[in-house]
Chains A and B, each alone.
Chain A
Amino acid sequence: MTNKIAVNIFRFIVLVLLQVLIVRNINFGTYFIMLPYVLFIISLPFETPRLLILGLSFLLGISIDIFYSTPGLHASACTTMGFARYYVLKFVSPREGYDVVVQPTIEDMGLEWFIKYAGVLILVHHFVFFYFEVFRFDEFFRTFLRVILSSIGTFLMVYLIQFLFYTKRFRK
């Protein structure tokens, strides 16, 4: 249990630093923005209390906001994502429910499940993020394109991070 908490705190710090020091400097133009820090919310253990997820999402968003000078923007998108996570998990749960020892990763749950689960959550996050960032509707379709392309980018990045770092040693 303590181990899980330590791993998640470590993951929180590493993902925030990865986002603000490395990913922020990768430029593919305004249509393709990657926000892989959301992997933190995606990979919280299944048994985390839902209110705690809301709190942690808010904390994660605010931390990113401090670095991006966008008060409340990432926080709002992250909390919406944390809120949606509860319902998405219910929707994609296997018939026999979630096992205590498995984690929400590609390795444990399979790629198809992960695409359904993480894909929807990333779309929710990016939808809120980009529309609140622009905050007007006259650029509706352009913003929509940004949401779709950026979601694909973030998902690829999340996939890559999982592929590289989430090996057996993280599962305790």
Chain B
Amino acid sequence: MRNLLAFLYKHHFIFVFLLVQVVCFWLMMRGKNYQGSRLINSSNRVAANIYEAEANTKEYFSLKRENAILAAENAALINKLKTNYIAISLNEFKVHDTLYKQQYQYIGAKVVNASINNRSNYITLNVGSSSGIGRDMAVFNSLGIIGIVKDVSSNFASVMSILHKDIKVNCQLKRDGSYGPLIWDGRDYKYCLLTDIPTHAKIRRNDTVITSELSGIFPEGIMVGTIDSYERRQNEPFYTARVKLSADLKKLNYVYVIKNRYKAEKDSLEQKTQTQSDK
């Protein structure tokens, strides 16, 4: 016993170091599962407030670009105005629309913090659970997809960017609807990889890639990017395509968060079916 204590005392520096490393590892592992990461991340209040002040300052530098995008979006919306259409007498048509229910709801948000240089990148938004944001909601802007909400506090949301090593969003080719998961290889913030496209798909350069309903998070048809190049994987009947992202992840300012109102219902049904068939 005495020897053991003497040994511990002699090497106490190393043991303290190992203990601290264990704590760091525990934090890292806890950060990997979603709920646990709440304590230390940028939705933390102090960090988020500093970042919000920084974003408020930086906002002025991109006003011109932001205005151009908004003007284009406004033009698209004005085209849909009622006054642009010929009115048909209401006596003839009176439709109580009970066939359609709104499935996706859009919430505007401002980016207060974003990174693109790490292997796993995150974005912080200035909206949180008090604005109805929750986990696994999709984030995009008028140019293309941005990421998936990972964690929320009451006033901020932490978003896993599509530039993340664990990202996997099901996307499809607009041309023929063949789909595969979109991943990021960590090389360039402008490009992602669309894997597992079957070789019988008609794929060409500059084809448009859009989100697929199968992702369960994004609604179908949100722009992702265009095919830059593609090659067949060795000994496998699949293509891997390099996708040029249409959204500029380096210049983010205002984004939309998509709330899928039927996601909980769909998920619980799928889970129920799976557990039943497992029995």
Shortest Cβ distance from residue B127 to the other chain A in the assembled complex, whole angstroms = 17
**Is there an interface contact between A51 and B13, defined as CB atoms closer than 8 Å?**
yes
B7 within 8 Å of A (CB atoms): no
**Is there an interface contact between A66 and B40, defined as CB atoms closer than 8 Å?**
yes
Known: A30-B117, A30-B119, A134-B165. A66 touches B44 (CB 8 A): yes
**Is there an interface contact between A69 and B122, defined as CB atoms closer than 8 Å?**
yes
- Interface size range on A against B: 20 to 34
Q: Provide the residues of chain B in CB contact with A61, threshold 8 Å.
A: 24
Known: A27-B250, A72-B27, A139-B186. A54 touches B20 (CB 8 A): yes
Total number of A-B contacts with CB less than 8 angstroms?
105
Q: Provide the residues of chain B in CB contact with A80, threshold 8 Å.
A: 17, 21
Shortest Cβ distance from residue B49 to the other chain A in the assembled complex, whole angstroms = 11
A75 within 8 Å of B (CB atoms): yes
Q: Provide the residues of chain A in CB contact with B23, threshold 8 Å.
A: 58, 72, 75
The CA of A33 and the CA of B51, in the complex, are separated in Å by: 20
Question: Closest residue to A87 on the B side, CB-wise?
Answer: B13
Shortest Cβ distance from residue B230 to the other chain A in the assembled complex, whole angstroms = 21
Shortest Cβ distance from residue A63 to the other chain B in the assembled complex, whole angstroms = 9
Q: Please give the residue numbers on chain A whose beta carbons come within 8 Å of chain B beta carbons, in ascending order.
A: 20-21, 24, 27, 29-30, 33, 50-51, 54, 58, 61-62, 65-73, 75-76, 79-80, 83, 86, 132-134, 139, 142
Known: A58-B20, A72-B26, A75-B24. A24 touches B115 (CB 8 A): yes
The CA of A83 and the CA of B116, in the complex, are separated in Å by: 30
Shortest Cβ distance from residue B234 to the other chain A in the assembled complex, whole angstroms = 16
Shortest Cβ distance from residue B73 to the other chain A in the assembled complex, whole angstroms = 27
B25 within 8 Å of A (CB atoms): yes
The CA of A20 and the CA of B12, in the complex, are separated in Å by: 34
Known: A62-B40, A133-B118. A79 touches B17 (CB 8 A): yes
Q: Provide the residues of chain B in CB contact with A75, threshold 8 Å.
A: 20, 23-24, 27
**Is there an interface contact between B119 and A79, defined as CB atoms closer than 8 Å?**
no
**Is there an interface contact between A72 and B16, defined as CB atoms closer than 8 Å?**
no
Number of interface residues of B (CB under 8 A): 41
Q: Provide the residues of chain B in CB contact with A54, threshold 8 Å.
A: 13, 16-17, 20
Which interface residue of B24, B31, B43, B250 has the most chain A CB atoms within 10 A? Answer: B24
The CA of A50 and the CA of B21, in the complex, are separated in Å by: 16
Q: Provide the residues of chain A in CB contact with B37, threshold 8 Å.
A: 69, 71
B201 within 8 Å of A (CB atoms): no
**Is there an interface contact between A134 and B13, defined as CB atoms closer than 8 Å?**
no
The CA of A62 and the CA of B39, in the complex, are separated in Å by: 11
**Is there an interface contact between A50 and B122, defined as CB atoms closer than 8 Å?**
no
The CA of A2 and the CA of B30, in the complex, are separated in Å by: 38
Contact of A72 among B24, B119, B186, B250 (CB under 8 A): B24
The CA of A33 and the CA of B158, in the complex, are separated in Å by: 22
Query: What are 13 A-to-B residue pairs whose CB atoms are below 8 Å?
Result: A30-B188, A30-B189, A51-B12, A65-B27, A68-B115, A69-B43, A71-B31, A72-B27, A72-B31, A73-B24, A75-B20, A80-B21, A133-B118
The CA of A117 and the CA of B186, in the complex, are separated in Å by: 31
Shortest Cβ distance from residue B62 to the other chain A in the assembled complex, whole angstroms = 13
B54 within 8 Å of A (CB atoms): yes
Known: A30-B186, A54-B20. A69 touches B158 (CB 8 A): yes
The CA of A29 and the CA of B187, in the complex, are separated in Å by: 8
B42 within 8 Å of A (CB atoms): yes
B47 within 8 Å of A (CB atoms): yes
